[in-house]
Structures are given as C-alpha cells and as structure tokens.
Chain A
Amino acid sequence: MNKMDFARERERSRVRRWDWVAVAVALLLFLGSAGFYLYTKRAPVEEVNVTCTLLILEAERDLWEGDDLPVRAGDLLRCQNGTVEMGEIETVTVKPHLYATVLDGTPSWEEHPHFVDVEVTVRMQAREKAGDGLRVGDLRIAAGSTGEYRFGRYLSRGEVLEVRVEV
C-alpha cells in the first residue's frame, strides 16, 4: 500500500469512528428518555385478596335444575380462552330470571319459564395499582365490566356486579 492508500484508510476509519459515536449518542438519548419516562410512570403494586360476584344472565333453565349444576363451588374461574386462572368459585346461587310484562292491563315482573339468572362468587388474588385498578393476570377486574368466562367447564358471558377488596 502506498501513502495515498494509507491516508484513505485512515480517513475511512475516522469516518466510521464518528458514525459509531453518533449511534451511541442517539441510542443513549433515546434509551435514557424512555427509561426515565417509564420510571416516573410506575406506581406501587400491591397484592390483595378480592371477592367478586359475577352474574350469568338468562342461563337456560334446563341446565340449572336439580342437584347436578354445571358450575359448582370449588370450580375454577378462567378467562375465555382458559389461559388465565382467575380464582376459585365459592358460591353458586340460581335465581329466577324476571321479565316485564303486562297482565290484564297491569305491568308486572314475572318469572321467565325458560331462563334463570345465576350469581357466582369467586375468590381471587389480584394486583392493585393506582390508576390501573385491580388485575388478575392481564385482566382488569371491575364492577360493571362484562366478558366471556369459563366457570369450570361452563362458558358464558358474565357481568361483574361487585368487587370487594379484603382489608
């Protein structure tokens, strides 16, 4: 290699070095900002015991008659696809499903002949975080929310009626 080649090689090395410096600075700025942002956003997380009451609305009466109920105390509550185990079912209460009708010109609530409502209480262990509420796995638990759940081997839509956090 002659002097010209060495000079060109030195120039190329210098350029490559500055490229790496620029990459390092950019990465540091980006990662530093992102990391600081995430750090300031985090809030304390607490593990709490929760009792949840879920309502299965308009369940078919045929399935819920007799002693052999499709959902029993001790069954596990899971999310729709079964990947998250949410808690253990404590109680199962079958209630008549009421519907509004008019009889002899008078409005009244009557028991539906084909449907019942089922209330299920579930004991769960949840993570409580300010601004993020209560979560079991990735699922948020909140009164007023609805979703598809596996109550043991029974799949149904459920409405969360009540969430009680143990103090």
Chain B
Amino acid sequence: MTETKRKKWTAADLFLILLAVLSLVGFLVRFWGIRRHGEGDLRDYTLTVLWKSVDARTVDAIAEGDPLYTASGELFGYVISVQGQSTEVEMRQDGEVHRIASPTRLDARIGIAAKGREADGQILSTDGGALLIGQTLTLYSPTAELHVRIASIDQNAPL
C-alpha cells in the first residue's frame, strides 16, 4: 500500500505562487486599469510657474504648444503662454535700495495647461505627485530644462 504523504509547502513554493500572483495583478493593472480613479476624474488646470534669471536665448527655447515632461518622461502638460521680463538686481547702499535690470537675464512667467485630480483637498498631477504653490519643479521641453516654481494653480471651467 502506498503511503499518502501530505506535501509540505516550502518557502520556495510560496515565493513562486507570490510571483505568479504579482505578475497577474500587474498584467491586469496594465491592461484593464484596476485603479481607484479613471480618466473621468481628471480635471484641467492652468499652472503659472516662474523661471528666474534665465538667459534670454534659453527662454526662446520655450514656445506655446510645447509639451513639458517630468524627469521620468511622463507628460506633465503643455505651454500655453510665455512672458519674459528683465531680471531685476537689487542692491543696498547707505540704507538705500537700488534696482537695475539685467541686460542678459530674464524672469519668465510660463502658463502650463495640465491635468490633475483632487484628493484629500490636494491637487495631484497625473504621476501622483502633489502640486503645491511655492513648489519647485524640474520640467523638460524637447530642447530645454526648466527649473521653475509654481506661482498659482487655477482649475479651468469645464466645457
């Protein structure tokens, strides 16, 4: 008579099962979007960012309609406006404040159309990061690298 042995589950068995389950979950998330929020939750926002003390030729690298990406390559938004004005340098002498405009450097104010969603009273970008006034961001256009600070975030009216 053959003994019936109960197979013991080893750590290797459990690891393989976990690997298979995780692969399946990843597959489902990728193709059927098992997420808490869908595309319908995304809203349109207009961000105004400040790009300070930049060479005038560098500001010219940005144009309306340019896509802007994060460092990871995710699309952040599109440039909708670019306004530059000469960077002002402030000096103090004998208690007096003096200001002079730079001949070569500009402070640029850039409008960006971006999508985001609201969660817990905060605005999150499409990559899940919070968008906060005063926050610094590094964004990339096709030919420029922007180190900017968020000056304002406005939700666009739905069409």
Contact = CB atoms under 8 A, between A and B. Distances in A.
Interface of A: 4, 7-8, 11, 15, 19, 22-23, 25-26, 29-30, 32-33, 36-37, 53, 55, 98, 100-102, 105-109, 128, 131-134, 140, 142-145, 159-163, 165
Query: 3 closest pairs, A vs B, by CB?
Result: A29-B23, A142-B145, A107-B100
A163 B144 contact: yes
Interface string B64-91: 0000010001010000000000000101
Contacts, number: 107
A7 B54 CA distance: 80
B35 interface: no
A105 B96 CA distance: 9
Contact size range, B: 35 or more
B98 A26 contact: no
A160 B147 CA distance: 13
A128 to B, nearest CB: 8
A29 B75 contact: no
30 contacts: A7-B3, A15-B7, A23-B16, A26-B20, A29-B19, A29-B24, A30-B19, A30-B23, A33-B27, A33-B30, A37-B30, A100-B89, A102-B91, A102-B93, A105-B93, A105-B98, A106-B98, A107-B91, A108-B100, A134-B142, A142-B141, A142-B144, A142-B145, A143-B145, A144-B58, A145-B145, A160-B145, A161-B58, A162-B61, A163-B61
